[in-house]
Amino acid sequence: MSESNLVELNVTGMHCNNCALSVHKMLEKKGLKEVHVDFANEEVKFSNAGELNLDGIIKDIEGLGFKVYENEEIPQEGFFAKVENKFIFSLIFAVPLFSHMFLPFHWLHNPYIQLALCLPVFILGLSYFGKSAINSLRSGVPNMDVLIFIGFTSAFIYSLTGTVLNLGPDYMFYETTAVIITLVLLGNVFEKRSVSQTTSAIKDLLKYQQVKAIRLIGDEQEVIDSRMINSGDTLLVNTGEKIPADGDIIWGNASVNESLLTGESLPIEKNKYDSVIGGTVVEQGSIKILATKVGKHSVLSQIVEIMKRAQSSKPPIQRLGDRVAAIFVPVVVSIAVLTFVLSYLIFDVQLGESIMRSIAVLVISCPCAMGLATPTAVMVGLGRGAKQGVLIKGGATVEEMANLKYMVFDKTGTLTTGNFAVRDIQVFDLDMAEAKSLIVALESYSNHPIAKSLVAELESDKMKRFIFTEVNEVKGMGIKAIDADGNQYEIGSSKIVQPETDIDGFDVFLKKNDQLICKIAIEDELKPEAKNLIDLLKERKITPVLLSGDRKEKCEFVAQKLGIDTVYSEQRPEQKLQVIDSFKKKGTTAMVGDGINDAPALTTSDVGVSLGNASHIAIQSAKVILLNNDLNSVITLLKVGKHTLITIKQNLFWAFFYNIFAIPLAALGYLGPMLAALAMACSDVVVIGNSLRLKIKKLD
């Protein structure tokens, strides 16, 4: 979605997926593209290449019964704008009205007293549920409020007719009208608070951005809001303070807690020229930083945006719930009409009782439970993953991870640390100590990862020192040097030795005056958690695959150590694509990588998983980012995917089972309208509560 055509609106009043569906359908009818409606985060986004009548679009959204705010700061709500206050207001009238059924006060049985008590609640119901119901019918996506509106309006009109015509107590159902409205409002209160908890992960991240900053201007210090920071500002951060923006340290050093992003509780030492991320905490020390990325360009803002998109994207399993919810209201209205016809005309049930049965059918039905089943579970699951350093970009990824058949790994930097260890050294015509000294002396002139690893492992204080009069690094070959005595040295890959040289199992070669004097075998250092991950994949019947551009011997050595049976070595980026495609034909396939050469494979796979220290293009190509660069995060990803899908299935089962079980009971007269309203409110709470359980549930 291009920034130039992107429109973002804050929309309040959407309380379930059905509400979001009505806004989505209306915007699509207007020809808008890339429509994105998120009821939980109260956001509506869309783009359009042509002329855009934004005022007209806002008016149409508000015409559906919602409120649009173009800025992020939503104004203070009025008293009756809050559903909690609507509930309290209706409860004040509903309690005395309902109490006439068991209190011995004759005046409470007076039909006009009951009408007076019911009327304020009925008017409130008309303004709240009626407006929403009518607007949803106009949009072509009837919502739950249609059922509620028909139910309490039928009870009120029936009762009002009995009062005006003086037909007696059999026509008095004012308490049914008031209690239905009150209980449904109670359910909305629970629903609103529960849904807000499902989005707590995003809210927690947003809080990290809302800090004060100390801006330095010459010798002056100015305390400002973090939103006022500009790129290039110099900021002072002291012990215990949050870093207010992404930047580079230009003075000082500090221990920084980055658990916000990585889940790692141990602080990381930061020195001059190191990068820091906004929202992380300085545990000890003072630093001055130069702000580099602010506002929407900061790491934290981009993570929040990814999470918002991910939480509102639909996994395939949600399509079933959406299809049912879309036709649910007309079906339930038909069942209610059929209930009345069969009860009154066929089975000789009294008129009042027949109407009450029909009303109970309308009220007890709950498409909201089906609409909430998937998004609430996805929100909580993705939020839990994010708090453990696993950033999942799409809700559909959750289902794909739960159904995974193959997981393909790059080698260097993914299964291995990127560092190298010496496995064997063979020397000719010199002793081992002198060979090690010579290797360190020559490789210290190179920045190649292998050279750095050799220097780090072999260097010691007792080493012999060599003085070179000339040193050159030849790209793709190695280091050439000449010492004070005129001896020529060369260290590098197999390209520097004669073709007939026995190089089997060796990687680095050292020559003196064109004579081979040392061979070095190196091995990739495996990540300590790699073996545990591979074993877990096998337990879950997920086939691990090694796919690398490295040499065959290297790949097979790593695969043998980890227990990976399927190995593809010496693969170019385009060949990696072909391998991924072949596995996708056999089952859902994930690719884990970190390099630029992995980006095409990450994009092609069903689920691309990128490490947080990966190249920028690899991160952009992936559906999942492991912020703490730890393969244990892949285990977390698998567990979050599995348990989120389990929760979705449980929610959908409850939503369908509830309606299949409850509607016949209401139709047969076993559940009155008031009990039906209470059961309907509880169904939403059960679904959301089950989703919230995912926050604290032990993931196995």
Q: Which residues are catalytic?
A: 410
State how far Cα 634 lies from the chain centre: 15
- The backbone torsions φ and ψ at residue 469, rounded to the nearest 5 degrees and listed phi first, read -90, -20
Burial degree of 190 (CB within 10 A; 0-12, 13-18, 19+): middle
585: which 2 tokens? 């034909």
- DSSP state letter for 241: P
DSSP codes joined into one string, 337-387: HHHHIIIIIIS---HHHHHHHHHHHHHH--HHHHHHHHHHHHHHHHHHHHH
Residue 13 Cα distances to 20, 39, 129, 624, angstroms: 10, 8, 12, 31
- Helix runs in 47-199, H state only: 54-63, 83-99, 111-125, 131-139, 144-164, 174-198
Asked whether 675 and 692 are in contact (CB, 8 A), the reply is no
Which residues on neighbouring strands pair with residue 47, listed in sequence order?
Answer: 6, 33
> What is the 3 state secondary structure string of 269-314?
EECCCCEECCCCEEEEEEEEEEEEECHHHCHHHHHHHHHHHHHHCC
- The backbone torsions φ and ψ at residue 542, rounded to the nearest 5 degrees and listed phi first, read -105, 125
Torsional sign, CA 79, 80, 83, 87: positive
519: which 2 tokens? 């061979």
Torsional sign, CA 243, 249, 250, 255: positive
Determine the Cα–Cα distance for residues 156 and 114; give it in Å rounded to an integer: 11
Q: Interior CA angle at 294 toward 293 and 296, to 5°?
A: 105
